[in-house]
Amino acid sequence: MKFFETNFDGLVGPTHNYAGLSVGNVASLNNANDISNPKAAAKQGLAKMKALHDMGLKQGVLAPQERPDLNALRRLGFSGSDASVLEQAAKQSPAVLRAVYSASSMWTANAATVSPSGDTADNKVHFTPANLTNKFHRSLEPETSGRILKAMFNNEQHFAHHTHLPDNDHFGDEGAANHTRFCSDYGSNGVEMFVYGRHAFDSSKPAPVKFPARHTYEACEAVARLHKLNDSNTVYVQQNPDVIDQGVFHNDVISVGNQNVLFYHEQAFLNTEQKLAELGNKYEAATGKSMHFVKVPTAQVSVDDAIRTYLFNTQLVDIGNGQMAIIAPMECSENPNVSAYLDKLVTLGTPIQKVHYFDVKQSMRNGGGPACLRLRVALSEQELAATNQNVLMSDKLFGELNHWVDRNYRDEINESDLRDPQLVIESRQALDELTQILQLGSVYPFQIC
């Protein structure tokens, strides 16, 4: 049976804006209050999806969420008509209004953690939506993420869906941005690396001091238990607290892996030597083969350059014959150190043989690169056939979604637009049409309440 990695990219929602919501995420804070272009953002994302589809990769689309989240505003005591709720929130709590408008669900690497059937005791693909407790605007995502994932992977024989972990910082879970699966091919037993920022129940352990560690060790363990993984195919690695304090808010800002390759910055982890030895040994026991560890030294690329360019927020994709391509943001080609490094990387004799650059600037300015925009789901032919076929990229779907964006999206949103009740109506209209195009059924609060 054939197995594939399928990338489900987040479709950027109609209210994409720059609100400076993520302390610890340098780009989000630097671009706060800039004017956004939701139409361009959605089209940049679609162009990347189509390009990967055209490279012969399996590509899907993950629908955005309903924003503004008026239910959240009502829970916070704003009442009356939708227009009146917006008006009161704009006057009394503009920061809260900005948060409930965020299109942050576009970063689907944070939608969930996924364990493929090759790794799980019951041979099902397991999904746990991330609770994203550390940031208010992101904590609004998990319930709808769960509903959308169930509408995409709606088959109990193949797919197991879990409820997100308890909504508390002790179990802070940021999903696949801190999870990487290594395997010799996508169907066989692999090793899953969970990366965390701190221990919630043990304050004697190291932790960052300036910026938050969003993801805990305890959350990683809980997800591994839910997904029926075993010790021999899991590794828990702590992120280096110093790099979190420099702005590496997720591990996928400082390392990326695929199949037999871990591409990482030398400062990414704590106890690097010991942890990577454990990973390498478990990988060898599971696959009979050895891993490639591609370490990037600080002398060649500083942590600061990695954060500015998102060198590690790249996708490593299988292009056949044991070779991989790296899907990088344009910003990598514009930085002399990083572009020189990438030119050299493809000559080093590792599986990484090609670099493709993409313009995802609208997302980058909020701290989301190519890897943040996708959720990886390794699937067998059968599992792929059991997946909702309407979410899989095709020439037809690409055309339909571009028309849908042209019809429904604005090309500019600034802060004063957030109090415009028309934007609520437009967004719901757009999402209602989208659920029909993708045949998701009713997944949004405005459709089910």
Ligand X SMILES: NCCC[C@H](NC(=O)CCC(=O)O)C(=O)O
> What residues make contact with ligand X under the rule CB under 6 A?
18-22, 25, 28, 102, 104, 107, 109-110, 135, 138, 177, 249-250, 366-368, 372
**Shortest gap between Cβ of 21 and ligand X (angstroms)?**
4
Task: Quote the tokens at residue 186.
Answer: 């996508």
Would you give the distance in Å from CA 78 to the centre of its chain?
A: 31
Q: Which is nearer to ligand X, 20 or 441 (CB)?
A: 20
Q: Of 94, 92, 88, 105, which Cα lies nearest the Cα of 148?
A: 105
Residue 90 amino acid letter: A
Catalytic, out of 250, 265, 331, 383: 250
Check: CB of residue 251 under 8 Å from CB of residue 177: yes
Q: CA end-to-end span of the chain, whole Å?
A: 42
Enter the DSSP assignment of 418. Answer: G
* Whether residue 5 lies in the annotated active site: no
402 contacts: CB under 8 Å, gap ≥ 6:
43, 46
β-pair type (179-182, 159-161) = unpaired
Check: CB of residue 371 under 8 Å from CB of residue 8: no
For 190: left if phi > 0, alpha if psi spans -120 to 50, otherwise beta; the answer is beta
Using DSSP, state whether 139 is helix, strand or coil. helix
N residues, the chain: 449
Check: CB of residue 70 under 8 Å from CB of residue 18: no
Residue 180, φ and ψ in degrees, nearest 5:
-135, 135
Tell whether 410 is in a known binding site.
no
**Shortest gap between Cβ of 449 and ligand X (angstroms)?**
25
Q: Which is nearer to ligand X, 371 or 431 (CB)?
A: 371
Tell whether 252 is in a known binding site.
yes
* Whether residue 250 lies in the annotated active site: yes
Catalytic, out of 141, 174, 218, 383: 174
Check: CB of residue 249 under 8 Å from CB of residue 25: yes
Q: How many CB atoms lie within 10 A of CB 222?
A: 17
Catalytic, out of 183, 220, 332, 372: 372
Q: What is the C-alpha separation between 82 and 72, in angstroms, rounded?
A: 12
Tell whether 317 is in a known binding site.
no
Q: Of 66, 141, 57, 137, which Cα lies nearest the Cα of 376?
A: 57
**Shortest gap between Cβ of 414 and ligand X (angstroms)?**
13
Q: Which is nearer to ligand X, 18 or 312 (CB)?
A: 18
Catalytic positions are 174, 250, 372
- Residues making up the annotated binding site are 19-28, 110, 137-138, 214, 252, 366
- Residues making up the annotated binding site for substrate are 19-28, 110, 137-138, 214, 252, 366
